[in-house]
A and B are shown apart, each in its own frame.
Chain A
Amino acid sequence: MIRFVARRVLAAIPIGLIVTLGVFALVFAMPGDPLRELAGDKPIPAAVLAAKRAQYHLDDPFIVQYLLSMKDILTGNFGTTFAGADIADQLRLRIPVTLKLTLLANAFQWTLGLFFGIYAGFKRNGLVDKSLLLATLVLLAVPGLVAYFAAQYLFGVELKWFPVSGVLEGFPRSYLLPALVIGLLGFAGLARLMRTSIVETVNADFVKTARAKGLGEQRVLWRHILPNALLPVVTFIGIDLAGMFGGAIITESIFNLPGLGQFMFQAIKLKEGGVVVLLSTLAFVSFILINLAVDILYGVLDPRVRHV
């Protein structure tokens, strides 16, 4: 087990290096002068620009800039953004926001997805099953952008059930609406997957064998059907969780949640290579950790997969 974890972590290091170098190179190659966006509304004298450039190492060659950024990340000495914000402060502020949003959204998604998926899987072709398939098709066909704008206007502005935006009302109230929308959009996929998986497992040979051996229905359900049916679902949840860290840009922008997505979007617009790389590294590390957790969970659910 330890060796398995160590091997995975070691394998991740070169990938991490390529990812950070690649992202930094892309941001570096973006046209335009990073300091201009920062300049505000008035032209800035050349001497002032040069001073700023030196302060953020923008006058160094690419590889030096990259190494300096990596040094900052590895030593935890993040410094400030071009606009003067303390990056460590920003992270302390923003990581909880993104985590709360992600976890709440996933809680909705899993509860709804697993419940409806399992129910529909067992009562296949029933009313619930049929309406679920239709509902999920519709949900998957609605562009996320439409759903966010519509939900904010309907439930925030018109009905006033939820705060329109921001995090002033704290957890969970401020996060409920965006999390519900993300959860609903994501639930469609999860429910369909769960349903398919249950159907396949119920008809599998080992379940038939278990029943033939005279095991009780409850035991068959809990010991044989569910663990096996959950396997692909676990994979999906892993991919989904890992992606959410970097993918909430649009949600955070529409609902004004000061999370990592907005930070990332800002940093890209300002061409702050260091910040983009730092956030990419964060996303990458969480991606690796979650995948690792998923693999370990896999082993628990399925004794055939053993990590040596």
Chain B
Amino acid sequence: MTLSLALVLSSCGDGNGDGSGSGTGAKSEIIAIAADPLEYINPLNDNGSPGIQVAMAMFSPLVTTDPNTGKTVNVMAESVTPDKTSQTWTVKLKAGNTFQNGQPLTAKDYVDSWNLTAQGSNAWKNNGFFSKVDGYDELNPPTPDGATPKPTAVKAMSGLKLIDDLTFSVKLKVPFSQFGLTLQYLGLAPLPEEVRKNPDAYKRKPIGNGAYKLDGEWNAGEDIKLVKWDGYKGPNAPEADSITYRFIPNADTAYNEFLAGTVDFVDVPPTKIKTFKTDAPDGWVTGVSSGANYLVMPAWDQRFKNPKLRHAFSMAIDRKAFADLVGLATPASGLIAPDMNGYREGACKYCSFDAAKAKQLLQEAGGFSGPLNINYNTSSATGQIFAEAIGNMLRQNLGLEVKYTGKQGSEIGELADTRKLDGLRFSGWGHDYPSIEDYLTPMFKSNGDANFSGYSNPALDKVLAQGDAEPDPEKAIAIYQQAEDIALEDMPLIPLYTKSNAYLHSAKIEPRVSKYVGVSALYATFK
């Protein structure tokens, strides 16, 4: 189950803050992260939500989404300009910014940091991001199974060009109109030269270019304590003077910690979605998460081949009741999240609940043979519950025989990738940059990064390529919507729901809530 919420995204719903908090001297907050303690801070080698969350405080991106307007605005960049075909992009940096060690931030820092990440033998997690860049393949030659990748002789991607101290250009393999948006991903942060030379030595003492720096030493298993770095000259500095990130692996325990008053901010775990408003009547906020959740039909199993059968499954699901079970969720009516530019209410023609129609469609498709297996992730508190809910509806509304298999998420993913997984599974997707394209390409393109279902339709690939090459944003969206329609007709993924996230906060702080970038504790205001 892949759910990449790298930007901790969600957008505005209703909020209810306590206005009676008394002002305290120092503006400090403790943020609970329901995950195992981080082992290192290096945004280029981290793609998990906990690591990116901390990196957001310590590193500053090239561009970001304005929380009020939803437009892309520059942060470290002075300008980001594509050429006519959107294939070569020129990034110009603002002058005068430095790293926390005092060194000036230059174009070379970006180019070298990105080349370091793109080098396959370094095994950094954001390596894949650069696969769109010209020359990536030379740094990542195919390795025979079981062999150790050797560092390549070529150390730099031919697509990255240093123009002057503050300017560099990126040439992509093919035109890509959305590339400017992707630059807000924190996984593209720059590292200073001393860190680049020996990244391992700086695992626990990162040098960022953002508004906060480490406060003292940070040892294994400890909270991460940050203080404001007074050398930060960029825009968007948050209000807090100091921030502590506390890692609590068990999400329910983290929630209890909040109720006991030891942390200022916590995510509401799925099991508490029904009770958080009474548990903390004066301190909760919600935001529509920019992510969507699906039921995956395996393309490698002939039994699922007929689109009519897929539509039958889809229409046998009572999304309203299921969303109620999930809590704070909205039934899905399309493949992308509702707050994306290009979202159309009711794009999906087969997403309304109609048991009779579903049965009829199943009959027309020739029925389904054998028991239907539903896989669920045992590491998730709600995996089994959601699987049973879907299973019950398919069993009762379509008369199917249903069985369940609980496995670790990683194992389900591996079986699916090797096309050995039997039956349905759940998946989720959250975008890395706010574009309808970041839903369609990864999940539905034949060689998409997150093509969970093994789906392939040349017609859809062709439409996507047209969209990528269209420089006009509005026109591009219209083209991408055609691709969404194809995917909805073929239905390799059955859209289920989009979910709001809920957070609790203490009386001392008021988290920033934006309908574009969601709820942020980092940008909380203090009372």
Contacts and interface: CB of A to CB of B under 8 A. Distances in A.
Is there direct touching of A and B in the complex, by C-beta distance under 8 Å? Answer: yes
Contact of A51 (B3, B40, B148, B254): B148
A48 interface: yes
B459 interface: no
A269 B409 CA distance: 10
Interface string B114-151: 00000011111111100100000000111100111100
A47 B260 contact: no
B221 interface: yes
A258 B253 CA distance: 13
Given A33-B414, A55-B123, A269-B379, A164 B203 contact: no
Given A42-B2, A42-B128, A44-B128, A51 B260 contact: no
A153 B275 CA distance: 14
A170 interface: no
Interface residues of B, number: 58
Given A47-B141, A84-B39, A166 B256 contact: no
Nearest to B432: A42
B123 A156 contact: no
B410 A36 contact: yes
Given A47-B120, A47-B140, A164-B257, A32 B410 contact: yes
B49 interface: yes
A99 to B, nearest CB: 16
A11 interface: no
A164 B3 CA distance: 29
A45 B248 contact: no
Nearest to A88: B220
Contacts of A31: 407, 411
Interface residues of A, number: 49
B159 interface: no
Interface stretch (A129-137, A179-187, A231-239, A249-257): A249-257
B414 A164 contact: no
Contact of B260 (A32, A40, A86, A164): A164
B413 A45 contact: no
A52 B125 CA distance: 10
Nearest to A35: B410
Contacts of A166: 246, 248, 257, 262
Interface centre among B4, B122, B260, B450 (most CB of A within 10 A): B260
Interface in A261-287: 262, 266, 269
A107 B122 CA distance: 49
Interface in A72-112: 81, 83-86, 89-90, 93
A54 B151 CA distance: 13
Nearest to A58: B146
Contacts of B128: 42-45, 48
B46 A40 contact: yes
Given A33-B414, A42-B125, A44-B127, A165 B149 contact: no
B249 A48 contact: no
Nearest to B125: A40
Contacts of B249: 253, 256, 262
A189 to B, nearest CB: 27
A48 B120 contact: yes
A152 B414 contact: no
Contacts of A41: 2-6, 47-49
Contacts of B148: 50-51, 53-54, 59
Contacts of B3: 41
A90 B220 CA distance: 7
Contacts of B142: 46-47
Contacts of A81: 39
Interface centre among A36, A48, A59 (most CB of B within 10 A): A48
Contacts of B253: 152, 164-165, 254-256
Nearest to A85: B39
Closest CB pairs A-B (n = 9): A47-B120, A54-B148, A32-B411, A51-B123, A36-B410, A41-B4, A37-B410, A40-B48, A84-B39
Interface of B: 2-6, 36-37, 39-40, 46-49, 51, 120-128, 131, 140-143, 146-149, 203, 219-221, 246, 248-250, 253-254, 256-257, 259-262, 379, 407-411, 413-414, 449-450
